[in-house]
Amino acid sequence: MAEDAAPKIAEQQANVDAAVNTPVVVHSNDDRTVAQELELEQTRSTLGKAIVETRSTPLENRPRLPRIALSKRNRAIVRALNPMLVTYLEASRDHCETDSILFGAALAVCRIIGAKLPTAGRATGQSSTSPVWRIRIEERIAKARALMGRLICFRSGNTRPRIVRTVRMVLAGTNV
């Protein structure tokens, strides 16, 4: 019985090899299939290039990605990319590499869709060197100081319409 199993395994392996190595023949009249295959190959190469590019780019120099609309076309592109990502994600060794792969996939989607991306890193788009959160906090502090100044003016007897309007706005909803 064991002697019969060996030829069957060899025969099965030969069948598998033949199936794997058989070239896929696409009929010339089936232009849609050819176009889809070409599009998939372009998508695959765009994904590969984006992942390689992302791996070599430091986090702070990665471009800021735009939000994309949830159209049927965009969903189809994402659905086509998802199976391609499996091979990259299975080979990733750590979280940093997984992050690079996912960011590269998002970058590839933006490129395929034709979304506008900044040409260089995030630093080129900023006019000042201060982070956005610091600028926001400084603006809020400046507004609070202006309000305190108007409240002090009102307390000292200034009843100009602008001051009174500001005091009413500040005290609105406080039962004072």
Structure tokens at 103: 């960011």
Q: What is the pLDDT of residue 140?
A: 95
* pLDDT tens sequence across 87-111: 888 888 888 889 989 999 999 999 8
CA distance 39 to 87: 19
Would 103 be classed as within a structural domain? Answer: yes
* pLDDT tens sequence across 67-90: 888 889 888 888 888 888 888 888
* pLDDT tens sequence across 120-171: 555 445 555 888 999 999 999 999 999 999 999 999 999 999 999 998 988 8
Q: What is the pLDDT of residue 30?
A: 54
CA distance 88 to 106: 14
Structure tokens at 36: 């889809």
Do residues 92 and 146 share a domain? no
Buried/exposed 54-84: b ≥16 CB within 10 Å, e otherwise: beebeeeebbeeeeeeeeeeeeebbebbeee
Do residues 113 and 164 share a domain? no
Would 24 be classed as within a structural domain? Answer: no
pLDDT at 32 over 90: no
Domain hosting residue 165, numbered range: 132-171
Do residues 47 and 92 share a domain? yes
Residue type, 20: V
If you search the block for the tokens 């060197």, which residue do you land on?
Answer: 129
pLDDT at 46 over 80: yes
Do residues 153 and 106 share a domain? no
**Mean pLDDT over each residue of the chain, to the nearest integer:** 78
Q: What is the pLDDT of residue 160?
A: 92
Q: How many domains does the chain have?
A: 2
Alpha carbon separation from 153 to 121, 141, 159, 160 (Å, rounded): 47, 18, 8, 10
Structure tokens at 2: 């064991």
| pTM of the predicted model over 0.85 | no
Closest CA to 97 of 43, 63, 59: 59
Would 96 be classed as within a structural domain? Answer: yes
